[in-house]
């Protein structure tokens, strides 16, 4: 870590001294999430979601590995083994419900994490790389969740796979061969189910790898904070342990309370009844919807109903859906305001709360609604505003806005005054 | 090893050759190229294994007896694990399809172009909506056949007419007519 006042790890007994020489793993942990990692003293609960997302990843890997012990990725028996897990395997129902709801909670936590990033501009220098890696993690999560949903081989599994791989068919010329290649057949079948299982098992570990890079990149500048003012002195920080291990632990408790409520009392609330009907290639469910966490992007996909010059509507929808996430990669350079926190940006704040957030809510709702009026029109308006926000409003706001005065330091923001600020002492920010 | 860019003494010439190219440079480029070609050669089977396997391709043509289909009736068959609609059109449906000016359609095709010569009443199409791949309704008795009396996709509301041409809704093209031929008067081979 970069701050000179960070506490150094000191092995105390023979064993830790031995370890520290041969494999300094305790030193790594101490410096990364222990007392050796100084963190801004003013982090709010919005800073809990990184740790919670990490917890969700572990939860999904543990329950997923357990489920894989009882599940068979074969189109003839996949649906049956899923029911076998639910009815016959000891605690199988709990493992599966925890895994299915765990995916939803993973997305809830990650969406809040991203939302935090939007409001506090966590993507700005010097933290661009953390943000870029985060977007990569999100894309990997979407792929993993999509393939996982196919595995129970119910009606929604099958038709979800068909519709989503059908998106690639929208690409001119090479689209259809790509679709057939992805599925290993002309429609989702055993080949597709097998490869989705294989990749669904692999990708979480790829995510874990990128998460390590994400945390590594975070530890170079250190965490941002609600004021967006960088750390100046030791007084601005507290050690991660015990301060934030305790705060994150409390957050984890709340999280588990909500999670267990869903798993034990409303396990199918976020699912679709159609997925308890075995996949039938000859009959489409009346209303195909993806899982709730894809709704905003599904709404963007369906918002394009007319051809745009020579680009067919279907391809436009696909491009827009991918662009909706890829635009996040450019955020650090689209939002040029030097002020990070939304608390000190009056104009940005208005567009955030009254523009972006309602837009996301509309997209979310329309994505789960049937494709009829007024939802199509609403999706179109919301999609237009979504891109307008990132590509026009953000750059414009950052150039015309007059930010409110920032506190001198984190300490001043917390205590109301900072001795160093009063004395006018010039402290160089430690980087 | 000594500096290689210096003047060519008899000693360095033996190692570098007259044009200043070192033996080692050559070996280096050759080895890396060879490894690169090898890596590409390994990628090929890794990519190709994802394509449909022989048993999947073996199902790629299907024979269907269409003799027993009455006018106005349709059957759902399976072709490449996807639904295939075979419909015998009534004279009214044929004239309804022919009445439309084909050039005004999104995907301009006449009924004659979508059927085989001498079998204008036998409409063979994939039962896969060209929008996002749902199975349209209308092949079975009593199902909603949409505003144009052909097929209707409930997923995103695409309406197909009696020649299974797209008339309304988001689907970009008509229901696909697969490659097929009449092997006898009553049997078609699809694929």
Give the residue numbers of B annotated as catalytic, written as ranges. 156
Say yes or no: B103 and B132 in one domain.
Answer: yes
List the single residue in B with minimal CA-CA distance to A155: B134
CB atoms within 10 A of CB A305: 18
Does the structure show a pLDDT above 60 at B4? no
Whether residue B127 lies within 8 A of chain A, CB to CB, comes out as: yes
Say yes or no: B37 and B109 in one domain.
Answer: no
CA angle A77, A293, A314 (to 5 degrees): 85
Chain B closest-CA separation from residue A177 CA (Å): 9
Q: Which residue out of B44, B53, B134, B190 would a mutagenesis test of the A interface target, given it has the greatest number of A Cβ atoms within 10 Å?
A: B134
- Asked if the structure places residue B92 within a domain, the reply is yes
List the single residue in B with minimal CA-CA distance to A371: B156
With a CB cutoff of 8 Å and minimum separation 6, the contacts of A177 are: none
Q: Which of B50, B80, B83 sits opposite A282 (nearest CB)?
A: B83
Number of domains chain B is built from: 2
A200 annotated as belonging to a binding site for a ligand: yes
Tell me whether residues A162 and B132 touch, CB distance under 8 A: yes
Q: Which two tokens stand for residue A45?
A: 């609960």
Whether residue B76 lies within 8 A of chain A, CB to CB, comes out as: yes
Say yes or no: B14 and B107 in one domain.
Answer: no
> For A378, how many CA atoms within 13 A lie in the half-sphere containing its CB?
20
Dihedral, A382, A384, A390, A394 alpha carbons, nearest 10:
-90
> For A250, how many CA atoms within 13 A lie in the half-sphere containing its CB?
9
CA distance A93 to A149: 16
Spacing of C-alpha A230 from chain mean position: 25
CA distance A289 to A296: 12
Q: Which domains does chain A have, with CATH numbers?
A: 28-159+186-288 (1.20.810.10), 302-400 (no CATH)
- Asked if the structure places residue B107 within a domain, the reply is yes
Chain A closest-CA separation from residue B100 CA (Å): 22
What CATH number has the domain bearing residue B147?
A: 2.102.10.10
pLDDT at B11: 60
Closest residue by Cα to residue A302 from A357, A370, A355 = A370
- Asked if the structure places residue B169 within a domain, the reply is yes
Q: What was the ipTM of the complex prediction?
A: 0.71
Closest residue by Cα to residue A233 from A81, A14, A427, A28 = A427
CA distance A348 to A350: 5
Say yes or no: B37 and B64 in one domain.
Answer: no
Mean per-residue pLDDT for B10-20?
61
CA angle A154, A141, A161 (to 5 degrees): 30
In angstroms and rounded to an integer, the radius of gyration of the C-alpha atoms of chain B is 30
Say yes or no: B16 and B67 in one domain.
Answer: no
- Asked if the structure places residue B3 within a domain, the reply is no
A113 annotated as belonging to a binding site for a ligand: yes
Tell me whether residues A184 and B56 touch, CB distance under 8 A: yes
Chain A contacts in chain B segment 85-124 (CB below 8 A): none
Dihedral of CA A361/A367/A368/A371: which sign?
positive
Does the structure show a pLDDT above 70 at B18? no
A272 annotated as belonging to a binding site for a ligand: no
Environment class of residue B48 by beta-carbon count within 10 Å: exposed (0-12), middle (13-18) or buried (19+)? exposed
List chain A pLDDT tens, one digit each, 431 residues: 468 888 999 999 999 999 999 999 999 999 988 899 999 999 999 999 999 999 999 999 999 999 999 999 999 999 999 999 999 999 999 999 999 999 999 999 999 999 999 999 999 989 999 999 999 999 999 999 999 999 999 999 999 998 888 888 778 888 888 888 999 988 899 999 999 999 999 999 999 999 999 999 999 999 999 999 999 999 999 999 999 999 999 999 999 999 999 999 999 999 999 999 999 988 888 788 889 999 999 999 888 877 777 777 778 888 999 999 999 999 999 999 999 999 999 999 999 999 999 999 999 999 988 877 888 899 999 999 999 999 999 999 999 999 999 999 998 888 887 776 555 444 444 43
Say yes or no: B178 and B127 in one domain.
Answer: yes
Say yes or no: B153 and B60 in one domain.
Answer: yes
pLDDT at B7: 58
- Asked if the structure places residue B15 within a domain, the reply is yes
Q: How many CB pairs under 8 A join A and B?
A: 76
CA distance B128 to A395: 44
Say yes or no: B158 and B132 in one domain.
Answer: yes
Residue with tokens 């179109």: A380
Q: What is the largest CA-CA distance in chain B?
A: 97
pLDDT at A149: 96
Chain A closest-CA separation from residue B84 CA (Å): 9
Q: Which two tokens stand for residue A17?
A: 């001294």
Strands (E), A256-298: none
Say yes or no: B91 and B177 in one domain.
Answer: yes
Q: What is the largest CA-CA distance in chain A?
A: 78
Say yes or no: B43 and B60 in one domain.
Answer: no
- Asked if the structure places residue B2 within a domain, the reply is no
Tell me whether residues A189 and B83 touch, CB distance under 8 A: no
**B151 chain-A contacts, CB cut-off 8 A:** none
**A166 chain-B contacts, CB cut-off 8 A:** 132-133
pLDDT at A28: 92
DSSP A277: S
Tell me whether residues B53 and A184 touch, CB distance under 8 A: yes
List the single residue in A with minimal CA-CA distance to B56: A185
Cross-strand pairs, A421:
none
Q: Which two tokens stand for residue A224?
A: 């941002």
**A169 chain-B contacts, CB cut-off 8 A:** 133
* Full domain range(s) for residue B159: 56-190
Give B109-144 pLDDT, tens digit per residue: 888 888 888 888 889 999 988 887 888 988 888 888
pLDDT at B1: 44
With a CB cutoff of 8 Å and minimum separation 6, the contacts of A365 are: A295, A375, A378
Write down the H helix ranges in A185-294. 190-219, 245-265
Say yes or no: B43 and B98 in one domain.
Answer: no
Say yes or no: B18 and B94 in one domain.
Answer: no
pLDDT at B100: 85
CA distance A71 to A194: 12
- Asked if the structure places residue B60 within a domain, the reply is yes
- Asked if the structure places residue B5 within a domain, the reply is no
Q: What three-state secondary structure class fits B138?
A: coil
Chain A closest-CA separation from residue B85 CA (Å): 11
């Amino acid at each position: 870590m970069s701050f000179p006042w960070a506490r150094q790890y000191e092995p105390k007994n023979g064993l830790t001294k031995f370890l520290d020489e041969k494999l300094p793993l305790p030193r790594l942990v101490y410096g990364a999430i222990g007392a050796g990692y100084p963190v801004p003293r003013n982090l709010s609960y919005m800073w809990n979601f990184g740790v919670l997302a990490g917890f969700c990843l572990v939860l999904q890997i543990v329950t997923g590995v357990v489920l894989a012990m009882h599940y068979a990725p074969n189109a003839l028996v996949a649906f049956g083994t899923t029911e076998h897990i639910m009815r016959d395997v000891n605690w199988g129902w709990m493992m599966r419900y925890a895994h299915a709801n765990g995916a939803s909670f993973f997305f809830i936590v990650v969406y809040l994490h991203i939302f935090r990033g939007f409001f506090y501009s966590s993507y700005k220098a010097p933290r661009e790389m953390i943000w870029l890696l985060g977007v990569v993690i999100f894309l990997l999560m979407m792929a993993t969740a999509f393939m996982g949903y196919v595995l129970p081989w119910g009606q929604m599994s099958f038709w979800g796979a068909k519709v989503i791989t059908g998106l690639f068919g929208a690409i001119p010329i090479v689209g259809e061969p790509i679709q057939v290649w992805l599925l290993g057949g002309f429609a989702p079948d055993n080949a597709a189910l097998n490869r989705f299982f294989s990749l669904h098992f692999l990708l979480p570990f790829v995510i874990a790898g990128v998460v390590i890079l994400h945390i590594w990149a975070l530890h170079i500048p250190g965490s941002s904070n609600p004021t967006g003012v960088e750390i100046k002195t030791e007084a601005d920080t507290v050690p991660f342990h015990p301060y934030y291990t305790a705060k994150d632990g409390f957050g984890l408790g709340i999280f588990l309370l909500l999670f267990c409520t869903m798993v034990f009392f409303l396990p199918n609330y976020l699912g679709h009844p159609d997925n308890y009907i075995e996949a039938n290639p000859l009959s489409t469910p009346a209303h195909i919807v993806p899982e709730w966490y894809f709704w905003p992007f599904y709404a963007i996909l369906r918002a394009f109903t007319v051809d745009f010059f020579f680009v067919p509507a279907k391809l436009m929808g696909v491009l827009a859906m991918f662009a909706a996430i890829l635009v996040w990669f450019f955020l650090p350079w689209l939002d040029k305001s030097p002020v990070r926190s939304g608390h000190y940006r009056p104009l940005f704040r208005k567009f955030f709360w009254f523009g972006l957030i309602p837009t996301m809510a509309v997209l979310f709702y329309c994505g789960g609604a049937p494709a009829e009026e007024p939802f199509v029109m609403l999706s179109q308006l919301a999609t237009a505003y979504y891109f307008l926000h990132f590509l026009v409003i953000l750059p414009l706001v950052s150039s015309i806005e007059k930010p409110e005065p920032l506190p001198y330091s984190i300490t001043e923001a917390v205590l109301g005054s900072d001795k160093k600020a009063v004395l006018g002492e010039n402290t160089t920010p430690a980087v | 090893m000594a500096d290689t860019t210096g003047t060519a003494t008899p000693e360095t010439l033996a190692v570098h050759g007259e044009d200043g190219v070192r033996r080692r440079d050559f070996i280096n480029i050759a080895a890396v190229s060879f490894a690169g070609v090898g890596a590409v050669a390994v990628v090929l089977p890794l990519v190709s294994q994802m394509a449909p396997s022989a048993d999947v391709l073996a199902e790629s043509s299907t024979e269907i007896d269409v003799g027993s289909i009455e006018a106005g009736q349709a059957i759902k068959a399976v072709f490449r694990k996807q639904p295939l609609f075979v419909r015998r059109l009534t004279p009214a449906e044929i004239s309804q399809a022919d009445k439309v000016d084909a050039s005004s359609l999104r995907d301009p095709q006449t009924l004659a172009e979508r059927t085989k010569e001498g079998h204008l009443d036998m409409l063979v199409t994939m039962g896969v909506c060209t929008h996002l791949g749902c199975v349209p309704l209308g092949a079975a008795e009593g199902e909603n056949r949409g505003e144009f009396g052909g097929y209707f996709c409930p997923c995103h509301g695409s309406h197909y007419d009696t020649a299974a041409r797209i008339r309304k809704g988001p689907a970009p093209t008509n229901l696909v007519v697969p490659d097929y031929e009449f092997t006898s008067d009553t049997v078609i081979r699809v694929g």
